[in-house]
């Protein structure tokens, strides 16, 4: 997992809600009122992630983590996605301690989308 030095691309297909959203598994975490809300959208092909997208209402660290993770998850198995932790991402990226909550929020949104798939 390598995020350190990763450039933020705001045009990445990993950002934004899918239109239409049919066939996607959705999860959310955080709250816009707290300046940190993340929505995760997963499109699966069997037990593999065909595409992952994130809507981020937060700061640049949350955006950076979401773009990287959305691109990283594509092609991964659901089990591999379930092993991702926000703390590991934050440490790999060298995020400041104050920004680790952003990575954890992205993880929570991913877990909620995975739960929508399982449930």
Total-model pTM: 0.90
Query: What is the pLDDT at residue 95?
Result: 85
Domain boundaries defined on the chain = 25-118
Mean pLDDT within 93-110: 92
Model confidence at 8, pLDDT cuts 50, 70, 90, reads: low
Model confidence at 2, pLDDT cuts 50, 70, 90, reads: very low
Checking 32-37 for CB contacts under 8 A at 24+ apart, the result is: 32/57, 35/59, 36/62, 36/101, 36/102, 36/105, 37/105
- Looking at the predicted structure, is the pLDDT value of residue 5 above 60? no
Model confidence at 102, pLDDT cuts 50, 70, 90, reads: very high
The domain made up of 25-118 has a fold known as: Sufe protein. Chain: A (3.90.1010)
């Amino acid at each position: 997992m390598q995020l350190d030095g990763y450039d933020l691309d705001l045009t990445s297909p990993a950002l934004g809600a899918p239109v239409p959203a049919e066939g996607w598994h959705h999860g959310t975490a955080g709250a816009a009122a707290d300046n940190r809300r993340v929505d995760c959208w997963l499109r699966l092909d069997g037990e593999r992630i065909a595409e992952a997208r994130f809507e981020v209402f937060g700061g640049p660290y949350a955006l950076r983590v979401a773009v990287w993770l959305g691109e990283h998850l594509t092609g991964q198995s659901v089990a591999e996605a379930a092993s991702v932790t926000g703390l590991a991402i934050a440490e790999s990226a060298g995020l400041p301690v104050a920004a680790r909550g952003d990575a954890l929020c992205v993880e929570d949104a991913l877990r909620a989308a995975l739960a929508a798939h399982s449930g």
